[in-house]
Amino acid sequence: MSYNILIADDHILFLEGLLTLLKSEEDLHVLLATDSGDKALAYIRGNQQKPLHLLITDISMPGMDGITLNNQVKATWPGIKTLVVSMHTDTSIIDNLVKNDVDGFISKNADSTELLQAIRTILKGGKFFSENVKKAYVEGIFHKEKNTLETLTTREKEVLRLIAEEHTTQEIADKLFLSKHTIESYRKILLYKLNARNLAGLTKYAIKLGLLEEK
């Protein structure tokens, strides 16, 4: 049997490596490789005549992120399998994806053997979560808030502080010498990590961390 795959990832080097890996597998056919969740979702909607067996997606991308993409795909086309490949292995993110029927989650540090194992396990109807993802998830269940706060990187704390100080996305980008897209990605990840619904929720965590007192 031949399997059709769609990839959504804006990291060019990873994407090229994944495409090279899949080309060596005769039964795995990539229908589309794109750099955003919006494009991936548009393709799925516009190509219902072609069966899609697996969606492989990153989390941080321009426009629609991979978490939202997974959740929308599973809500509309539950038969499509989904595999998230990301550097973000935080409890709240994994929990959100698990609750929305993701079929697998592995780190971008995974080697080609583990990646192929994940793909084939999922295509056969199984679930696949790499060991570091399972460890992060289990530990987070017992230390949820403490674990979440401690997993914020220095840069994420910087962005969180500036958001709480009511700077615009462009102002934060200028201050940190980053692109506006990168700051938008940080904001989305912070919302998921801290399980916050809006900017007010992020500000609450910034105060709890004492970030507004830092200069």
For the segment 38-88, what is each residue's pLDDT rounded down to a tens digit? 999 999 999 988 899 999 999 988 889 999 999 999 999 999 999 999 887
pLDDT < 50 stretches in the chain: 214-215
Task: Sketch the domain layout of the chain as residue ranges.
Answer: 3-141, 152-213
DSSP code at position 181: H
| pLDDT value for 215 | 41
Say if residues 19 and 7 touch (Cβ distance below 8 Å).
yes
Quick check: helix, strand or coil at residue 146?
Answer: helix
The residues, any chain, with a CB within 8 Å of residue 57's CB and separated by 6 or more, are 7, 8, 9, 37, 40, 66, 69, 70, 82, 83, 84, 85
| pLDDT value for 138 | 65
* Residue range 152-213, CATH number: 1.10.10.10
| pLDDT value for 118 | 96
The closest alpha carbon to 122, from 72, 66, 32, 52, belongs to 52
Q: What's the pTM?
A: 0.70
| pLDDT value for 214 | 45
**What would be the CATH architecture of the domain defined by 3-141?**
3-Layer(aba) Sandwich (3.40)
